[in-house]
Structure 1
Amino acid sequence: MQKCIVGKKIGMTQLFDEKGKIIPVTVVEAGPCVVVQKKTVENDGYESLQVGFGEVSDKHVNKPQKGHFAKADVACKRHLKEFRLDDCSALSVGDIIKADTFAPGDKVDVVGTSKGKGYAGTIKRFGNHSLKDTHGSGPVHRHAGSNGACSDPSRVMKGKGLPGHMGVETVTIQNLDVVKVDAENNLIALRGAIPGPKGGIVYLTDSVKA
């Protein structure tokens, strides 16, 4: 069965392997998560698990959500995420998913929301070149320049890189190594960086390309 878990990004640090080589890692507080709903082919046309993560008071949950959690006989959760898996037979509603569902050496894909950069120009947003900073090229040396042809097709083509809101996008990082798992403290150390700020919610699944 495919493995999945919801976690919170704690931050980055470094570990050492047997040869003393430094491994940069991102620490994720993974779980404990609870299975809130299980969808089946017979009822829904596909198989998936809805997983809840993070404690929340009943007063911060609306009435339909309270009924949803009460039907599953689980405590209210702050975050819900549906994982569409090939086989969900190993888990049932109410089962707990902990960090030790993954083991060191596993390959995982991590999905998160990237940091917000605000309103950014084309140089920062798309890597456009700027004009030279000398000999009077300002005040337009960081402008986007020409947007399109003058006569044909006489419009700006779709997909043109223009200034705008940068960041706060769903980003997937594939094939990250699980370096260490601390089941007692619900922590997973992943090699390298993952998207999002500290405290951001991330989703870990088995790598699709491993």
Structure 2
Amino acid sequence: MADQYGWRLYATDDVMSDHARRTTAEEAPFLHRFMAMDMDERWVNRSPVTMLETFHWFRGEGFGLIVEDLLRLPSQPCVIVEGFRLLPHLVKPLLAVSGHAVWLLPSPDFRRTAIQGRTAPGEGFIRKTSDPERAGRNIAERDHAFVERLHEETRRLGLHAIEADTTMTEDDLANRVSETFLGRRSAPPG
């Protein structure tokens, strides 16, 4: 949509390292505890439930830095903000129109397909653990619980969520998002 309409894209994943550097242990205690852990402490030795409850970005740490960054941007063109750090309960108070936010939530099949499409176990950051397979399972379980939490929170707050599944094409998903944001389907690519 950003390319189609000439909007700016702000991807929260791209600024995570910068945001981590800009915080103190007092401002973001969960983040700083996480940064002090070794890879097994992060991904192998803790249960997925503990990983979910203590993961700094899932707790909203650093969200204020996203807002600060956005306030520094020029008012034009419009900005699309994306990323898992956009927790519904933090975003809702900032919305003038509830349709200006939509959460894309992967179905269980979509999540399985995405996990299988990632690098093989033992590659990437989980390769640095003593048990990459267990780390991968823990992360998958944590992510599943996070998505379930987002489903419940968007429902409870009356916010828009679209379940992305393996039957949807990118164009289908773009059209669904456009319908939410703009009240109309996006033009077919061409």
The normalised TM-score by structure 1 is 0.20
User: Over alpha carbons, which structure has the higher Rg?
Assistant: 1
- Return the structure number with greater relative CO, CA threshold 8 A, min gap 6: 1
User: Whose helix proportion is higher, 1 or 2?
Assistant: 2
